Amino acid sequence: MDYVTIKYITKKPKLKNPILIEGLPGIGNVGKLAVEHLIDSIKAVKFAQLYSKDFPPQVFINPDGTIELVKNEFYYWKAKKKNQRDLILLTGDYQGLSSQGQYELVENILNIAEEFGSKEIYTLGGYGLGHEVENPKVLCATTDKSLVKPMKKFGAVFKKNEPGGGIVGASGLLLGLGQLRGLKGTCFMGETPVYLVDPKSAKAVLKILIKITNVEVDLSELENKAKEIEHIAHQLKEMENVSKDKSEELKYIG
């Protein structure tokens, strides 16, 4: 096995000018949730797995008792209508652990993208607010100035020099290293409180991506998941309040 290894699990698909969409684990798991939902909805087909010596030395356990080495996964989907484009979708268990590992990972992802003729990349992630948000906005950054206006039309928001710390991880690096190869890329970052996985933010990101790709996606499952998470968040809050009250009671007693 090389430092990064790609293993095809189907014949290499023939794709026409495909769009690469990335959603790896990150802030609020927004990108991963969004791409996984997209993959399920459009019934994309897994065609390759990526392994890296910079991923943790770990296997996960499937429900049937079998193991799987931690990995990233490539899916494809072929356009059904004239206003659609072929898609390559990327998700996975981990990003690289080290700086060098991240660069190697992204270089290999870009190699795959270019091998299948992709010149356009969308990376999905979260933008941590540190507080709750009713209607998460979707921040945007892009490799090319000419993409700013169209992305605004799709509902994405550009805030001057935001995020202030730039974009860290695969979502940023795919654009940065892609830019050096002449690829066009855009990153969508859904606002998220950070505390928990955030299907609501993932939905906000997907809504924009749907407008761009013209794929048909039922978002109701993400909405259900969002309600579940809200319920959990509510419960956590109550537990916190109860323990606060108790400790105050104790103060009165003590």
SS3 10: coil
- Exposed (0-12), middle (13-18) or buried (19+): which is 164, by Cβ within 10 Å? exposed
The whole-angstrom separation of Cα 42 and Cα 215 is 8
Question: For a copy of itself, which is the closer residue by CB, 15 or 139?
Answer: 139
Q: How far is the CB of 167 from a copy of itself (least distance, A)?
A: 5
Question: For a copy of itself, which is the closer residue by CB, 94 or 116?
Answer: 94
Question: For a copy of itself, which is the closer residue by CB, 147 or 219?
Answer: 147
Question: For a copy of itself, which is the closer residue by CB, 53 or 78?
Answer: 53
Cβ contact 50:37 at 8 Å = no
Q: How far is the CB of 220 from a copy of itself (least distance, A)?
A: 26
Contacts with a copy of itself, residue ranges (CB under 8 A): 1, 3, 7, 51, 53-70, 96-97, 99-104, 106-107, 140-145, 148, 158, 160-170, 172-173, 175-177, 179-180, 187
- Exposed (0-12), middle (13-18) or buried (19+): which is 251, by Cβ within 10 Å? exposed
Q: How far is the CB of 64 from a copy of itself (least distance, A)?
A: 6
Question: For a copy of itself, which is the closer residue by CB, 46 or 78?
Answer: 46
Q: How far is the CB of 20 from a copy of itself (least distance, A)?
A: 16
Q: CA dist 87 to 21, 33, 74, 240, Å?
A: 7, 17, 10, 44
Q: How far is the CB of 174 from a copy of itself (least distance, A)?
A: 9
Q: From the centroid of its chain, how far is CA 155?
A: 18
